[in-house]
């Protein structure tokens, strides 16, 4: 019985190693910057109330508070600012 062999590992050497590392770092920094710069707008999105019709809010403004939801929160003694506080 023969044992299955894995394909040979690809290793970068010489002139391709440095550009591959630089590319990887550039992609990682870009992704991190996008995530960090989107945080303030995400908080603002969740803190505002969708003023369109409830059907439109349900389709387009996913996870955004609706006037009905804000009234329901008020009914149990909570505010939107309390629920969305970081």
| Predicted local distance difference test score (pLDDT) of residue 61 | 59
The total domain count for the chain is 2
Answer yes or no: do 52 and 32 share one domain: no
Mean pLDDT throughout 49-78?
76
Answer yes or no: do 52 and 82 share one domain: yes
Phi, psi of 65 (to 5 degrees): -65, 140
The answer to whether residue 4 sits within a structural domain is no
The answer to whether residue 84 sits within a structural domain is yes
Q: How confident is the model at residue 34 (pLDDT cuts 50, 70, 90)?
A: very high
Domain limits for position 33? 14-39
What is the value of pTM for the model shown? 0.54
Q: How confident is the model at residue 4 (pLDDT cuts 50, 70, 90)?
A: low
Answer yes or no: do 84 and 60 share one domain: yes
Burial of 50 (0-12, 13-18, 19+ CB in 10 A): buried
**Whether pLDDT at 2 is above 70:** no
The answer to whether residue 6 sits within a structural domain is no
Lowest mean pLDDT among 3-12, 14-23, 70-79: 3-12
């Amino acid at each position: 019985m023969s044992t299955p062999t894995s394909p040979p590992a690809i290793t970068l050497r010489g002139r391709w190693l440095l550009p591959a590392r630089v590319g990887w770092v550039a992609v990682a920094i870009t992704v991190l910057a996008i995530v960090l710069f989107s945080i303030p707008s995400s908080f603002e999105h969740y803190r505002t109330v969708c003023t369109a019709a409830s059907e439109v809010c349900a389709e387009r403004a996913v996870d955004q508070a609706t006037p009905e939801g804000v009234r329901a929160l008020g009914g149990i003694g909570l505010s939107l600012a309390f629920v969305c506080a970081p």
